[in-house]
Amino acid sequence: MNEAKYIWMNGEFLPWQESKVHVLSHTLHYGNGVIEGTKAYKTDKGYAIFRLNDHTERLIQSGKMVLLNIPYSVEELNNAQIELIRKNDFTGDNVYLRPFAFLGYGVMGLYHKDAPVETAVAAWEWGAYLGEEGMRKGIRLKISSFTRPANTSNMGKAKAVANYLNSQMAKFEAVECGYDEALLLDDQGYVAEASGAGFFMVRDGKLISPPNDNSLESITQKTIIELAQDMGYEVVRRRVTREEAYIADEAFLTGTAAEITPVREIDARVLGNGARGPITEKLQSAYFDVVFGRNPNYTHYLTYV
């Protein structure tokens, strides 16, 4: 991994290698923690963090959902992220930020009320999440044998680390089967989301994305809906079944790390002409214009460092 100089932890900037935890940290045993994934892009005016406030608010809300009270305000966490980018002297064209909170050392057993909450932010330079080639040519998806946990058994709208066991199993299975990424259905059989990204398809020039009934409220999904509507596309939020995804003209994934990743195949069914679709390509390029500060209509989403 690309190490940086500092990690912010519980209010201090520590050298990267010194941000350590005890092996009996509660989260290591019982899996209650929350994370964010935020990204800064190098614009003409230096690094700008994309939708910083929305990501930080979601972190605090995820914490509330899983009974983990983060002892910092949105403003304090925003400032920690801005300062971390400044202190690390990054040079690449983008930087991934990982704000997170977890339960530390001092309490064992499931009842976590008295376990100390630790809060940290790391940042590092990270290449294309699903590969540079995938961004240009599209990736291959496998519908997973794992479904997203039902709303009665887990909280998919929390960006909770516990939810990533399900994601990891699905991802591993897909990669072992020769695919790039997993697409997970919900417990009713409708498309929910990929292991770490939202799902869109295009049919007859219209964009369709499932509602967030059983998925994370993706900030990139929200951005793409706004952007696509501004570009004149109709966007529909409705349930999608696997057979409909198989005959889509185009499909793509949305995520802070995945950005706009085209999908060229799902379970051996080739979509469209088997390459990045034309609408996907337009949206991908429009998204990069937004995050790199080249579209003046969206600069309110950028926090310059």
> What is the contact surface with ligand PMP in residues (CB under 6 A)?
37, 167, 193, 196-198, 215-216, 218-221, 254-256
Is 42 a known active-site residue?
no
Active-site option among 87, 159, 206, 222: 159
Which CB sits closer to ligand PMP, 94 or 104?
Answer: 94
Nearer to ligand PMP, 6 or 303 (CB): 303
Beta carbon of residue 169, minimum distance to ligand PMP (angstroms, whole number): 13
CB of 303 to ligand PMP, least distance (A): 16
Q: Which residue has the tokens 């995945």?
A: 258
CB closer to ligand PMP out of 33 and 196: 196
173 token code pair: 């299975």
Rank residues 221 and 261 by Cβ distance to ligand PMP and give the closer one. 221
**Closest approach of ligand PMP to the CB of residue 223, in Å:** 8
Burial call 71-86: b when 16+ CB within 10 Å, e when fewer: ebebeebbebbbebbe
What would the two tokens of residue 286 be?
Answer: 């429009």
Cα-based distances in Å from 176 to 168, 228, 232, 282: 12, 34, 40, 32
Q: What is the rounded distance in angstroms from the CA atom of residue 302 to the CA atom of residue 290?
A: 9
Q: Measuring CA to CA, how many Å separate 256 from each of 59, 189, 284?
A: 14, 26, 13
Q: Catalytic residue numbers?
A: 159
